[in-house]
Structure 1
Amino acid sequence: MRKIVVGTRQSALALTQTEQVVGHLQEISRKHGLQCEFELKKIVTKGDRILDVTLSKVGGKGLFVKEIEQALFDHEIDLAVHSMKDMPWELPEGLTIGAIPLREDARDCLITQESLQLADLPQGARVGTSSLRRSSQLQHYRPDLRIESIRGNIDSRLKKLEAEGFDAILLAAAGLHRMGWKDRISAYLPTDICLPAVGQGALCIECREGDTVVQDLLHYYNDELTKLAVMAERSFLGKLNGGCQVPIGAYATIEPDASSGARMITLTGMVGLPDGTVMLKETKTGTDPEQLGHDLALLLIERGASDILDSFRGE
């Protein structure tokens, strides 16, 4: 019997989604006779410790994964459950993505005290979000809104909605779905108004290269269509070399081509300024996810995305 220690952040959402993952892996283990038992290990990350500063000012991508990845290297855990949108483009040598399971709803959503739609928010409404990507797109769509930073776990942000007098807050729908809190959602934001973060709604199951027992187990848990969509989005992010410090969004959908039967990937990506005054957005379609992400990023670079990205890097 192989004991597999599963690493996770200690927030309520992280624990809930990790427990759901472990439940699926237990079923897979029994079904395929892999003889595995599981144990959870909670790990505090830098992003969990720093709650009074916006994500864009404390290091961006990797804030919620580095300590967990170190635990993988140190053999304290055997696999890690991450939110894919927290994952940097490049993984450390020796670690690999073992599975990307079926994606939850990738959209952002609006939570208000009075179940208002986005169009119903009053002029100058206070909207809370810690995401430059969300604030950029929302201000592009509604320049009158006052966007203010709000940090904390999903449950603490919901409490701040009323306690701190926000008219609305923005959150990823996937987290609310996984917590069983769909009833808190006032409205889903269409992707043509607010593109999700790269990988939003998807989970990343990370493990050590060469751990064949864990990799064999995770092989059965992978969802191929989700993987293709996320690969396209991450290729786009990688070519732009972006992180949480830059408003970048991307979302891929997959449909079979009617004539050839090939899986056609439609990828939309955006790069903008935080105040929403500049918003570059394009869509491309292809069959190779990595090439598609690369090509879409080049298209935005040709339109001026490099100037936006360089401004954030102080170049």
Structure 2
Amino acid sequence: MPTQPLVRIGARGSKLSRAQSGQIQRRIAASLGVPPEEAETACPLVIISTTGDRVQDRRLQEIGGKGLFTKEIEEALLDGRIDCAVHSMKDMPALLPAGLCIAAVPEREDPRDAFLSLTAERLEDLAQGARLGTASLRRQAQSLHRRPDLDVEMLRGNVDTRIAKLEAGEVDAILLACSGLKRLGLSHLPKSLIDPVECPPAPGQGALAIETREGDCELPWVKALQHAPTMITVAAERGALTALEASCKTAVGAHAWMQNGTLKLVVEALSSDGRQRFRHAAETELSQLAQPEASARDLGLSLGYAVKAAAGDAIGH
């Protein structure tokens, strides 16, 4: 039994964050040769309350953006109170604080959005003027692009809260990340899944980000968490995120996938009302490249800049 923690893992207090961090905790312990029953002692979860969790009555863009889910955790990392942080990749801003890095991206879960409703199988099947609950500007814009008649209502809170509001009839449908539902054992709830090429999810959706101090990114337990194909596809999507300077104030979707050694990527940005949509898609052969992750990021940057040039002032900043 370790006399002191080997790796302290910072995480948010939500049920989903605890589930995700618990998975990583067990993997880190195993890579360190720690028996499963000693994982909590050797690699304790340090629960940190974030502003994004505490403020639930306003959209994130009104209170400072997606960084509010990471700020307090990153401060703990920089202060040395924790040794790594487990985030949902889609919550990570394009730019990280100096001294920190995304050191590993484990294998990705399903990146798609899930459609949940008590009355319809698909978004297209909702009644005229139906109420769609979401706090995501991207989901709002993509849904209004397909169904401009919908009444989109701001709906924040954890997964359980949003499902409860759906079941109480406060809204007619909600959209959630399929990955979160699967990690919570709720994969039976979606009525359908959204096509990720037609409606690209948030950059990095379905993936986890293991954030460390820059000096720790080469440690063996960090490398044990890395999944090269996921790191390549996420690099492409986050390249687009960087080019578009995307935050919660911008409706941006990006989806990358590997097919026979070829990286394919689609990027889109929409006006908040969904009336204008700007899309670019491209692919690159990765099998012969010495630095596929860097090349993937370059592809994302190029597509992101192309979308930005086409959209001009039509998308938010």
Give the TM-score taking structure 2 as reference length: 0.90
Instruction: Find the counterpart in structure 2 of residue 244 from structure 1.
Output: 248
Deviates more, 1:234-243 or 1:162-171: 162-171
Q: Distance in 1 between matches of 2:249 and 2:55?
A: 16
Q: Distance in 1 between matches of 2:281 and 2:201?
A: 14
Q: Distance in 2 between matches of 1:281 and 1:200?
A: 18
- 1:228-263 Cα offsets, whole Å, 9 max, x none, are 00000101110111101110110100123xxxxxx3
Matched letter for residue 123 of structure 1: Q
Instruction: Find the counterpart in structure 1 of residue 301 from structure 2.
Output: 294
Instruction: Find the counterpart in structure 1 of residue 32 from structure 2.
Output: 29
**What's the CA shift for 1:115?**
5.6
Match of 1:186 among 188, 191, 194: 191
Match of 1:84 among 68, 84, 89: 89
Contact 2:52 2:66 in 1 (8 A): no
**What's the CA shift for 1:164?**
4.6
Q: Distance in 2 between matches of 1:291 and 1:87?
A: 19
Instruction: Find the counterpart in structure 2 of residue 284 from structure 1.
Output: 282
Instruction: Find the counterpart in structure 2 of residue 69 from structure 1.
Output: 74
RMSD (Å), alpha carbons? 1.9
- 1:202-224 Cα offsets, whole Å, 9 max, x none, are 00001112237x73211011000
Q: Distance in 1 between matches of 2:238 and 2:123?
A: 29
Instruction: Find the counterpart in structure 1 of residue 238 from structure 2.
Output: 234
Q: Secondary structure at the match of 2:49?
A: coil
**What's the CA shift for 1:23?**
1.2
Match of 1:308 among 281, 299, 314: 314
Instruction: Find the counterpart in structure 2 of residue 162 from structure 1.
Output: 167
Q: Percent identity?
A: 41
Question: For 1:23-62, what aligned pairs fall within 5 Å after superposition?
Answer: 23-30=26-33, 37-62=42-67
Matched, 1:9 2:12: yes
In the alignment, structure 2 segments of 5+ residues that lack a partner are 287-294
Question: For 1:85-100, what aligned pairs fall within 5 Å after superposition?
Answer: 85-100=90-105
Q: Secondary structure at the match of 1:127?
A: strand
Deviates more, 1:98-107 or 1:35-44: 35-44
Instruction: Find the counterpart in structure 1 of residue 291 from structure 2.
Output: none
In the alignment, structure 1 segments of 5+ residues that lack a partner are 257-262
**What's the CA shift for 1:308?**
2.6
Q: Secondary structure at the match of 1:82?
A: strand
**What's the CA shift for 1:300?**
1.2
Deviates more, 1:286-295 or 1:126-135: 286-295
Q: Distance in 2 between matches of 1:165 and 1:209?
A: 45
Contact 1:132 1:246 in 2 (8 A): yes
Question: For 1:106-125, what aligned pairs fall within 5 Å after superposition?
Answer: 106-114=111-119, 116-125=121-130
Contact 1:269 1:283 in 2 (8 A): yes
Q: Secondary structure at the match of 1:4?
A: coil
Q: Secondary structure at the match of 1:248?
A: strand
Q: Distance in 2 between matches of 1:146 and 1:235?
A: 32
Q: Distance in 2 between matches of 1:216 and 1:93?
A: 23
Instruction: Find the counterpart in structure 1 of residue 266 from structure 2.
Output: 268
Contact 2:197 2:255 in 1 (8 A): no
Match of 2:180 among 165, 175, 180: 175
Matched letter for residue 308 of structure 2: I
Q: Distance in 1 between matches of 2:308 and 2:149?
A: 29
Instruction: Find the counterpart in structure 2 of residue 127 from structure 1.
Output: 132
Q: Distance in 2 between matches of 1:22 and 1:183?
A: 26
Instruction: Find the counterpart in structure 2 of residue 254 from structure 1.
Output: 258
Q: Distance in 1 between matches of 2:144 and 2:298?
A: 31
Q: Secondary structure at the match of 1:221?
A: coil
Matched letter for residue 238 of structure 1: T
Contact 1:141 1:193 in 2 (8 A): no
**What's the CA shift for 1:90?**
1.3
Match of 1:144 among 139, 145, 149: 149
Q: Secondary structure at the match of 1:192?
A: coil
Contact 2:104 2:226 in 1 (8 A): yes
Q: Distance in 1 between matches of 2:43 and 2:220?
A: 15
Q: Distance in 2 between matches of 1:192 and 1:142?
A: 18
Q: Distance in 1 between matches of 2:170 and 2:157?
A: 16
- 1:256-290 Cα offsets, whole Å, 9 max, x none, are 3xxxxxx3211100111111100111101124212
Q: Distance in 2 between matches of 1:246 and 1:302?
A: 15
Q: Distance in 2 between matches of 1:155 and 1:38?
A: 27
